[in-house]
Amino acid sequence: MTRCCRFCKAPLSMTFVDLGVSPLSNAFLKPNQLSGMEKFYPLHAFVCEECFLVQLEEFEAPDHIFSDYVYFSSYSESWLKHAAKYCDQMTEKLSLGASSFVVEVASNDGYLLKNFVQRNIPCLGIEPAENVANVAIEKGVPTRSVFFGKETALHLRAEGKAADLLLGNNVYAHVPDINDFTAGMKGLLAPTGVVTLEFPHLLQLIKNSQFDTIYHEHFSYLSLLAVEKIFAAHGLKVFAAEQLPTHGGSLRVYGQHAEGQGRPVEPSLEVVRGLEREAGFGSTAAYSRFRPQVEKIKRELLSFLIEAKAARRSVAAYGAAAKGNTLLNFCGIRQDFVDYVVDKNPHKQGLFTPGTHIPVYSPEKILETKPDFVLILPWNLKEEVAAQLQEIRSWGGNFVVPIPSLQVF
């Protein structure tokens, strides 16, 4: 069977990076599941030589991945601040008020839309994971538990709804049918509406060797170059692109209908286009340099852990994040190297990491056991984690961050 690009349908044969096989990164295990069979899938990213979209194949249907989800946005303080700031910016930039309508796709537990609810700006969340959507509804955020695409957009338009602001944070990469999703955005957007999408920027992923952001729930790894091509194919155009520090370096693109006058193109768009041109994103050479960087990180981290264990030093990990599970599985790190993982999210506590079977506890466990090293798996939150756990200095403990290169502090 010929692999095809999920956007342009060109044959897909060029490897971006092959991370072996791994279970779904959020498929945490209950104690009674530890002796059962786990499903492992290839974690092999390809790059399309026509449109330059970096992507994984689809092995599991989204309704299996996202039906009972354990990721809740409200457990990261820095992410909540980021969301509140976004709402301030958009309310001012787009002059949003009581007659406006805001729709967030993959609205999670209402962490962002609650800011619009507080301002009495009508809004709607679309969240496929029913357990997560229910949390949002309890917070007073109107939410529908459906997958977003062309059909959902048609239903909403039939109800007389059109989005003045349509936003999606860290969802575009999670969409297997990127054409249906983009057609849905086109269909739901009001004539003068604005769409904003945030996603980890492929430029930063390559530059900072962020291979652990590759996991099965992320079907695509996005550049502005690829996004502009996808938008154009569906009658949308990007008019601005903002670089953000979130998730190790993200892009926020602003789009509108391609037809009509619309908003003028902002200088920020050409800045990002220039950075991607400089990185060689329009040719395959830029993508082939990634694999050697990834292999170097694996060797560095395993050397550190082997030496630590040989010296009888204890190691715990912080953050049972999806990216951490990619790292643990790719490097073959189990309880022989890491005693346990801690996480603030109570939905993950008492479970075990997929594939590597490391137990997950609450952060208090670190204060009880006083490990010599704390490996920070969500390295993008290292300042937040170090501030939360500053007590480890009292027993001479150190933090370890594996990416973009091994750092002990």
The tens place of each residue's pLDDT in the chain, 409 residues long, gives 689 999 999 999 999 999 999 999 889 999 999 999 999 999 999 999 999 999 998 876 555 555 555 555 555 677 788 899 999 999 999 999 999 999 999 999 999 999 999 999 999 999 998 988 999 999 999 999 999 999 999 999 999 999 999 999 999 999 999 999 999 999 999 999 999 999 999 999 999 999 998 999 899 999 999 999 999 999 999 999 999 988 779 999 999 999 978 899 999 999 999 999 999 999 999 999 899 999 999 999 999 999 999 999 999 999 998 889 999 999 999 999 999 999 999 999 999 999 999 999 999 999 999 999 999 999 888 998 999 999 999 999 999 999 989 999 9
pLDDT at 247: 77
Sign of the torsion angle spanned by Cα atoms 225, 245, 197, 62 = positive
pLDDT, position 77: 78
pLDDT value for 75? 57
Domain 290-408 fold: Rossmann fold (3.40.50)
> Alpha-carbon distance 269 to 254, whole Å?
9
Model pTM score:
0.85
Q: How far apart are CA 211 and CA 10, in angstroms?
A: 24
Residues of the chain within CATH 3.40.50.720 domain(s) are 290-408
Q: Spell out a b/e string for 41-54, using b for 16 or more CB atoms within 10 Å of the CB, else e.
A: eebbbbbbeebbbb
Q: What is the pLDDT of residue 217?
A: 85
* pLDDT of amino acid 245: 87
> In 3D, which of 57, 14, 50, 51 has the Cα closest to residue 287?
14
Q: Are 276 and 223 in contact (CB under 8 A)?
A: yes
Query: Measuring CA to CA, which residue among 246, 225, 188, 201 is closest to residue 8?
Result: 225
Residues of the chain with CATH 3.40.50.150: 65-287
What is the CATH architecture assignment of 65-287?
A: 3-Layer(aba) Sandwich (3.40)
Prior bond to 404 cis, omega within 30?
Answer: yes
Do residues 279 and 286 lie in contact, with contact meaning Cβ atoms separated by under 8 Å?
yes
Contacts (Cβ under 8 Å, ≥6 apart) of 194: 94, 164, 165, 166, 254, 255, 256, 263
- Kindly give, in sequence order, each residue whose CB lies less than 8 Å from that of residue 52, ignoring residues fewer than 6 positions away: 223, 225, 226, 281, 282, 287
